[in-house]
A and B are shown apart, each in its own frame.
Chain A
Amino acid sequence: MNDAMLEVVHGRHNALIDPSLTIWNWEIPVYLFLGGLAAGLLILPALLELRAGDRLRSAALRWAPWISAGLLSLGMLALFLDLSYKAHVYRFYLAFEPTSPMSWGSWILMLAYPVAILLGLGGLSSGERERLSAWLGRFWLKAPLTFAIGLADSMRRSLLWAAIAVGAGLGIYTGVLLGAMSARLAWNSGVLGPLFLTSGLSTGAALLLLLRLDHSERHSVMLFDAGAIVAEMLLIAVLLIGFASGDRTAQHAFWQLTSGPWGAAFWALVVVTGLAVPLVMEAIEFRRRLPMVALTPVLVLVGGLALRFVLLAAGQASGFRDF
């Protein structure tokens, strides 16, 4: 035995901190997933409408901004549940801290709502508008609705670009939120921002594929989803290469994700189930002109959720205390 020994007796046993961080539970990965999904549902219909040059036809795409706002609200509820000082939640909106991704995020969330609502109002059919107007009329809200619809119609093109910008900000920030915390080794990468945005786009497309789209829209969304999956695979490769070729802390992160405690979940749920299998299924459906099976987008959604869970767990378990 030539190896020198090193024995460390740790005298700190703080709850949720030791032996490794467990401060964030299911609420955070669920929020990060829903935030990404909401970003995808803002960006994708806006891109399709800009490309088509005309209002979207299917109800699913016209209502996508409403779904986005709803999912965002669920995500914010999860975030709220995570706060340990819930009565102080308003403090997020009494400050803007430019160095804090979480501060950026809380303000981006506030921008996402008006954009989603105006985009959603502009996408309503005349029948839907009448029904909404009659319903809101009961609460003396007909005049504000008429004003908002007028605004939404006159600013439609600007709103589409705003949706893309806010959606991109929302999607990227959910990744930067983790990536900026270099103390957690498995998060210490700038790739997380674009990776989470790409995953948000792919899961957003997957959710749309589960809804009723017309033939040409389905074709476009499917192609977009396949492209996002390929981009996501490349970004995961860049993330892993960055870790593998980094210093010993980065190599620890590489080990944790690829063969450590989260290796099995990472490969099985994120890479194979969430990316490789749906990509192959989409390619087969596309080449053979087969009808799409619902399993494909469901797998993409499962993979997106697994990506957040695996990264959150691996990150919390990794720190400088291991060195």
Chain B
Amino acid sequence: MAPSQRLDIEEVGDVTVAKFVDKKILDEANIQAIGANLFALIDEDGRKKVVLDFSLVEYLSSAALGKLITLDKKVKAAKSKLRLCCIKPEIYEVFEITRLNKIFDIKATQEDALQGF
């Protein structure tokens, strides 16, 4: 069975903007579905420039961070590019604590993320 769609996908020029539809990315079933949706962007659709928009996201567990790290590896292997944007301050703190702000290209707004991508 195909995983439920947990991302809103929009094409802006040659960039794919994927916006999380969930406020809380906490429970395991949801995280699995989100992981499947994210990986399909690279593995199946072959998208080259992806912006992940976190504007609706209020909570994010460490398992969700794990999915983002795996996505980042797939992006690098496929020679695609990934940017993250619109991360709320509390969640950005999670990226700072775990030092994941060092491996992800994080922009304040979607406009910033699209600029020069």
Binding partners A and B: no
